Amino acid sequence: MKKKTTLLLLGIIGLTLLLTSCLEGGSRNYDENYVVYLAMDNTSGRIYGRTISGRLITSAGMQLMTPGSFQFLRYSWTEEYGYTTIENSLQADNVTIVGDPIQISRVPLRMNQQPPQVETPLKFVGVDSPVYAEDKVYLGDHWLFQYACEIKKGQTASVNFYNVEDEEASENDITIVIDLTISGVPDAGASTTTKTDIIALDMSQLRATYEGTSATTTKDLKITFQYYMKGQDQRIDSQVYRMKVKGN
């Protein structure tokens, strides 16, 4: 599994997210706070989690959670807790969950739509690099973003993603531009507060649009995110990220 790291902003997460299949040697006892993607074992119906740290975990409490959702969890494991076999041959650690889960919001990528035009757009204070797996299965083809924005106290604001531009120079040279926006109702009379959160973007529709049927070849989609940042008058562009899809 390809490694992706991101330094998170201060907020409910406050950690470095790490997606890797390489776990440290020695004692495997651990106590972690990470985002977890919930999946279901199709054979047994058991709910288990795929963690951002690259672990497979399960617990009695997870059986009440919804497959396909993302939860921010604190969980611990020692060797005496043992394992549960899932997906016929994989081992999931039997963990203990500490505290209450925090559900992570999921949003679709709005294909072929332009973001709403507003006179004074809300701006981000910070946007971290996305965390995602090259394997579309591990995180359900979602990319995780942590962001911070300033909103008026009591105001509700939502983050959305719009696929605003595609450029296909050739079948193997495709550039995608995605607009990241905050929407809300300004309230000039209220004081400002900073909201820090994490959101899961469903990229499956984008993959389906460009993915071929080859079992042996792949191609990369070059993806740039653009958004308004505090102190900037124009949208800024992120670095280029790559989504690997099947070739034609």
- All CATH 2.60.40.3220 domain ranges of the chain, comma separated, are 105-246
**Average pLDDT value over all residues in the chain:** 85
Flag whether pLDDT at 169 surpasses 80: no
Measured CA to CA, the distance from residue 152 to residue 229 in angstroms comes to 16
3-state SS assignment for residue 138: coil
- The model's confidence at residue 177, banded by pLDDT at 50, 70 and 90, is very high
| CATH dotted code for 105-246 | 2.60.40.3220
Query: Average of pLDDT values for 41-47?
Result: 95
pLDDT in tens, 60-76: 999 999 999 999 999 99
Measured CA to CA, the distance from residue 93 to residue 62 in angstroms comes to 12
Per-position b or e across 7-26, b if 16+ CB within 10 A of its CB: ebbeeebebebbbeeeeeee
pLDDT in tens, 89-99: 999 999 999 99
Query: Cα dist. 192→13, 148, 153, 186, 187 in Å?
Result: 21, 13, 6, 10, 9
What pTM did the predictor assign? 0.86
Within 8 A by CB and 6+ apart from 243, the residues are: 203, 206, 207, 220, 221, 223
Flag whether pLDDT at 23 surpasses 70: no
Radius of gyration of the chain from Cα atoms? 20
